[in-house]
Structure 1
Amino acid sequence: MKRYLNSWSTIIIVFTLLYFLKAFLPAAFLTEVAIYSIYAMGCSFLIGRLGLTSFGQPAFLAFGAYGAGIYLYYFGTNPFVAILVGVLASVVVNMLVGLFFVRLNSSYFTLCNQAFCVVTFFLFQKALVKWTFGDNGLLLISRMDPTPVIDLTSPKGIYLFAFIVAALVWFFYNYLMKRSVFGATCLCVKDNEQKLRFLGYKTYNIKWLAFVIANTTAGLAGALYTVYFCMVNANIASVSSASEAVAISMLGGAGTLFGPLVGTFIFIGLKDIASQFIRHWEVLVGLLLIVVMLAGQKGIVGSLEGYLAKYTAKKSEPTPALTQEGGV
């Protein structure tokens, strides 16, 4: 119980500190970190808890983004409703796609997700160009009305809302990964799926539900992306960005609670800062990822957790008892 409370309190402390970092860092940068960390969390869960690497995350991000964008452009002006529509659109797509994709394992799952990303990009760029306007996209600057309590049309409002949503996502995944039976069975699927089947568990259903949850998280990030940037175009589903979520997850630590947040902070930081001096800033991300993987293969947070566990175990070892002769 103590660890459970500590983990919840840690989430509150971390996101509170991040929120007040706006005194030192640009609010736009921190808002982007909050949104992209939500995006990376689903991918991190798939890799760390199910052992499934997906290069199709931009597709699931895009369905959430376009769900929100199409609502705002054609049907309504409330950004809260737009986010809800984006999430629902993502859920529907994930439920249908997951029926087929979770039957696959390892590299086949990875390749099919990447192929789905290509199909999604073509869908929004060419097939539905009459409604999505392809590369030009949907411009939504004047199509959102101010909202009560938290005004999502203002930079301060979307900044606060993005951090609230991110914190709620972390609370959910904290419970999912550390306290729920479902989270434990997901880990068992990764370690020994055949044994889990022998025990009577329907592993297909477990993987399908995990797939839907993880990629709906990406859809939520996509809906927030649309509301924040007030636009969405087909490039959001570009296959060239298919490795970003995986790189962020591996850099921070796939399957760890704060790995996606740390990975996103570094990734967005390098993109915003290093890109001003280096044209191909992605090289730095690649080199850093190689170094981190060679150092521990668990990402930054995973490696730190391992070191802290060893240090704590070493300190908790009982000291040798004094001998009767008084020797030490």
Structure 2
Amino acid sequence: MKVWASHLAVVALLLALGFLLPPYHATNMARIMVLAVFAMGYNLAFGYTGLLSLGHALFFAAGIYAAGLPIWHWGLGAAPALILGLLGGGIVAGVTGLLALRTAGVSFMIVTLMFAQAGYLTLLYFNGVTGGDEGFALPASGRMLFGADLSTDLPRYLTAWALFSATFLATLALVRSRFGRVMVALRENEERARMLGINPFTAKLAVLVLSGAASGLAGAAYGVLFGYAGASFATIQYSILPMLYVLLGGAGTVAGPLLGAVLMFALIEVANDLTSAWLFIVGAVLVIVVLFAPKGILGALRDRFFRGLP
């Protein structure tokens, strides 16, 4: 009960911030929540199941384009576009997993990276449809959700909050379920899990589909809320970002992706104000965290103080 209460308190705090923050910071917080959904999807695969992927940009971009192309070409509304984004990310993750999960470890990481690069090059090749590197702006008519204009501050924030909250609480329910224990068993000792009757391939494929669906939803939300889709979202940068959020906040913790996204965003803002070599500061902080808190901030707190933290 305490676990649910603490996570619901996070949801309530984020809702309150939407009415307290000035527009600029509210927009940044909406962006952080969407990227935290992306990181939560990544955390299911990496943090809970031990699947180190460098291909999640493919699922993020699949969500953006599954939502953005129907809006751009056919005038689809925001609500069905978000659903298409979720389905697009899950389907692409399933197809990728059917092949990539025949490998393991570093090989799996490389295969997922190659899938993501192939996806990026495909978007560039069909630039007449996808907009290529330049991308395209989503029309205002496709950014209306139940009569609310998502290009305005409060509706955009509340939509990002709703999507984040649903994913956040669904993740908490999942990792505390029987299947959540299967995920952790696969991460800790796959052979022992197999001896217990678990089919690793099937379970990992299911996790990857869920991970891809969350990533696709984040991509669709990013496109719809901020009005842009482009091939740059399929680059390696967008596979590394959720990994950094998870590593910083705490792999295998429900709230870790949100904490990591907030801290990384703040770190980049502060470092960028201090020097043009801001990447050096960001890199140095990440090295320090990995050296002294290899399980991330919440992972370290869980080991020392809160053993029951999911």
TM-score w.r.t. structure 1 length?
0.87
1:159 paired with 2:166, answer: no
Distance 2:220 2:78 in 1: 9
Distance 2:76 2:29 in 1: 25
Residues 254-265 of structure 1: pairs in structure 2 closer than 5 A = 254-265=251-262
1:224: Cα distance to partner?
Answer: 0.5
Consecutive unaligned residues of structure 2, counting only runs of 5 or more, are none
State whether residues 150 and 161 of structure 1, in contact with CA within 8 Å, keep that contact through their aligned partners in structure 2: no
State whether residues 173 and 257 of structure 1, in contact with CA within 8 Å, keep that contact through their aligned partners in structure 2: yes
Per-residue CA distance 1:70-120 (angstroms, 9 max, x = gap): 011111241112111111222221121111122221111111111112111
Distance 2:62 2:163 in 1: 19
Map of 2:114 onto structure 1: 115
Consecutive unaligned residues of structure 1, counting only runs of 5 or more, are 311-328
State whether residues 121 and 239 of structure 1, in contact with CA within 8 Å, keep that contact through their aligned partners in structure 2: no
Per-residue CA distance 1:120-154 (angstroms, 9 max, x = gap): 1111112x111012111122144425333543232
Q: CA 1:16–1:229 in structure 2 vs 1: closer, same or farther (change >3 Å)?
A: closer
CA RMSD of aligned residues (A): 2.0
Distance 2:59 2:300 in 1: 29
Distance 1:24 1:237 in 2: 29
Map of 2:86 onto structure 1: 87
Map of 2:29 onto structure 1: 30
SS at match of 1:270: helix
Among all aligned residue pairs of Structure 1 and Structure 2, give the percentage whose two residues are the same amino acid.
Answer: 27
1:197 is aligned with what amino acid?
R
Q: CA 1:146–1:241 in structure 2 vs 1: closer, same or farther (change >3 Å)?
A: closer
Map of 1:316 onto structure 2: none
TM-score w.r.t. structure 2 length?
0.92
Distance 2:237 2:91 in 1: 25
1:6 is aligned with what amino acid?
A
Q: CA 1:229–1:24 in structure 2 vs 1: closer, same or farther (change >3 Å)?
A: closer
Q: CA 1:79–1:189 in structure 2 vs 1: closer, same or farther (change >3 Å)?
A: same
Segments of 4+ moved more than 4 angstroms: none
State whether residues 60 and 94 of structure 1, in contact with CA within 8 Å, keep that contact through their aligned partners in structure 2: yes
1:139 paired with 2:148, answer: no
1:245 paired with 2:247, answer: no
Q: CA 1:148–1:42 in structure 2 vs 1: closer, same or farther (change >3 Å)?
A: closer
Residues 5-154 of structure 1: pairs in structure 2 closer than 5 A = 5-20=4-19, 22-23=21-22, 26-126=25-125, 128-144=126-142, 146-148=144-146, 150-154=148-152
